[in-house]
Amino acid sequence: MSKRKVTFEDGNGELDLEDDGLSKKAVSGPGSRFKGKHSLDSDEEDEGDGAESSKYNILDTDDVEGQEGATIDYDEGVSITPFNLEEEMQEGHFDSEGNYFIKKETQIRDNWLDNIDWVRIKEQPFKKKKKGLAAKRKRRAGDEDEAEEEKQREEQQADQEEEEEEEVEPAEDPLASLTQLQLTEAVVELLQPGETVATALRRLGGLSGRKKAKLREDKDPPDEPNRDTEKLDRLTALADRLVGSGMFEIYQQTYEKLAHMMKSMTSKRPAVEQKRSGGGEEEGDELDMFGDKFDEKVGEKSENKDEEDKRVSDEVLWEYKWENEEKSEIYGPFTSEQMQGWVDEGYFSSGVYCRRVDQGGSQFYNSKRIDFDLYT
Amino acid sequence: MSYMLPHLHNGWQVDQAILSEEDRVLVIRFGHDWDPTCMKMDEVLYSIAEKVKNFAVIYLVDITEVPDFNKMYELYDPCTAMFFFRNKHIMIDLGTGNNNKINWIIEDKQEMIDIVETVYRGARKGRGLVVSPKDYSTKYRY
């Protein structure tokens, strides 16, 4: 005969013997031993437990030996925990192996979570934080419902933000389509002679007069700076685009330098500065004639420049031969990239004799001394 | 042809020339206008000046008038040509053992143009040392 008063399985048997009319529900759940318990365990009745307990073989506190009732609560200011399982049984249950399962409802729930303003959270770098919160919530055993709610909230916010981002992008397109030449042209239009881009930005921003005002010791009221916001924005955007397209020194380029650059970039068109031509037209026929002559001159100059610019700016083509004799067959033309590739592969291991195609009858140089990388 | 090329008459002008040129190589010939070696060198330099003017500018410096650089650059030859780009001295491996300067006459104009162009391309890419297309180790004799 077992020591225990009423065991789980035996209890069923005993009860069945005593009263067949008892429903199985009452027998199977922990409620079957309701009367047998000393503590306030009646409060822990949980619907879920009814089904689970049959799986897990819930341990009854009575089966645990050596429990003692509470004695004193405090000993010299230190709280004493009674040597029994009453507190633990309030918050969960043990199975027959001694594993402890916390009840869902007694999960600690921070009240501040209810008060979070999710809209403000969204403004922060949210992706990492979101994952953390949702993930953390999931990890807490049993807190699945709340984690799902949060996920749904987060997804909604992500959708909203995607819509916002799409709206912002189209606004930047107008400038993206311009070439570097067109961008430079636009910048030149906004500059005054003798100015750099940085100085022009200062002028348009309305900051140029301050130093002079200080020197004058405030005798004369400083002139009102003309802050041309539209031009300022446009110049800033253009300069930014140019930096992005590779012209890193744009802010230090002067009006003259940019005009010169434009002339060299536009090979066919005679480069006429708009301001000069504008002045010529206004002042009458005589200056128109000058304007024509000027166009011709500039046209010639730009053509000459092109021929020389091609030396350093256009693609360089090479031809080579295997031996430095007049009879050797010449192969080519090839681009610098091709030549460099062959050199890298070791195809020209002993060096071939090469020269640039545009140099005509010049001598052939040994490929070992030439760095084709410089021409790419 | 020395009179056709610009001269620099003092150390400050040389420094200014080196500092102010942002896009082009500076070729400076150190020597004397009346020296035969320099005269030949100036002839070659003048003949290529127009062709390389988009990426190089040539100056002449009389080392008696401007002795400031004689020790620094060891200008003990009758004629020396050096290359600068953006305030940096560019060295050229000519095969002669001295990478800092050209201290003999390069007769062929195309060779000279090629050297100047190689210096320009290399310097633009940030190199401090470039290799001249032609090896002068056998041709040059003290």
**Which residues in chain B touch residue A250, judged by CB atoms under 8 angstroms apart?**
none
Residues of B in contact with A375 (CB under 8 A): 121
B119 inside 8 A of chain A by CB: no
The answer to the question of residue B125 being in a domain is yes
- Give pLDDT tens digits for A264-296: 877 644 444 444 444 444 444 455 565 565 666
Nearest by CB: A312 against B108, B120, B130? B120
B90 touches chain A (CB under 8 A): no
Is B125 within 8 Å of chain A by CB? yes
Q: Which pLDDT tens digit goes with each residue over A209-247? A: 555 545 555 444 444 556 678 888 888 988 888 888 888
Q: At what angle do helices A180-190 and A229-244 cross, to 10 degrees?
A: 150
Q: Is position B72 within any domain?
A: yes
CATH number for the domain harbouring residue B56: 3.40.30.10
Would you call A311 and B53 a contact, using CB atoms and an 8 Å cutoff? no
Query: Are the C-beta atoms of B79 and B101 separated by less than 8 Å?
Result: no
CB B39, CB B78: distance < 8 Å:
no
The answer, as to whether pTM is greater than 0.90, is no
Residue B22 lies in a domain: yes
How many whole angstroms separate alpha carbon A3 and alpha carbon A250? 95
Query: Under an 8 A CB cutoff, do B53 and A308 touch?
Result: yes
Q: Which domains does chain A have, with CATH numbers?
A: 180-207+227-268 (no CATH), 317-369 (3.30.1490.40)
Closest CA to A234 of A180, A183, A308, A298: A183
Domain count, chain B: 1
**Beta carbons of A147 and A134 less than 8 angstroms apart:** yes
Q: A212, A286 in Cβ contact below 8 A?
A: no
* pLDDT 10s digits, A117-142: 777 776 666 555 444 455 555 455 55
Residues from chain A that touch B131, judged by Cβ atoms under 8 A, are 369-371
Put simply, the answer to whether B110 touches A370 (Cβ < 8 Å) is no
> Residue B112 domain-assigned?
yes
Helix (H, G, I), strand (E, B) or coil at B86: coil
Confirm whether B136 is domain-assigned: no
Main-chain dihedrals φ then ψ at residue A312, nearest 5 degrees: -105, -15
Residue B42 within a domain: yes
**Is the residue at B41 inside a domain?**
yes
What pLDDT, in 10s, does the model give residues B59-93? 999 999 999 999 999 999 999 999 999 999 999 99
Query: Per-residue pLDDT tens for A12-66?
Result: 444 444 444 444 444 444 444 444 445 555 555 544 444 444 455 677 777 777 7
Residue to substitute from A315, A353, A354, A369, interface B, most B β-carbons within 10 A: A369
Q: What is the ipTM of this complex?
A: 0.80
Q: Which domain holds residue B97?
A: 7-131
Residue of B23, B114, B135 for testing the chain A interface, max A β-carbons within 10 Å: B114
Could you tell me the two tokens for A106? 């007694």
Question: CB B122 to CB A374 under 8 A?
Answer: yes
Pairwise CA distance, residues A357 & B97, whole Å:
30
- A359 in contact with chain B, both atoms CB, cutoff 8 A: yes
State both tokens at A190.
């906004």
Structure-block tokens of residue B37: 């070696």
How much is the pLDDT for A148?
64
* pLDDT number for residue A21: 44
Tell me, yes or no, whether B50 lies in a domain. yes
Helix (H, G, I), strand (E, B) or coil at B140: coil
CA distance B124 to chain A (A): 9
Tokens 């910048």, residue?
Answer: A187
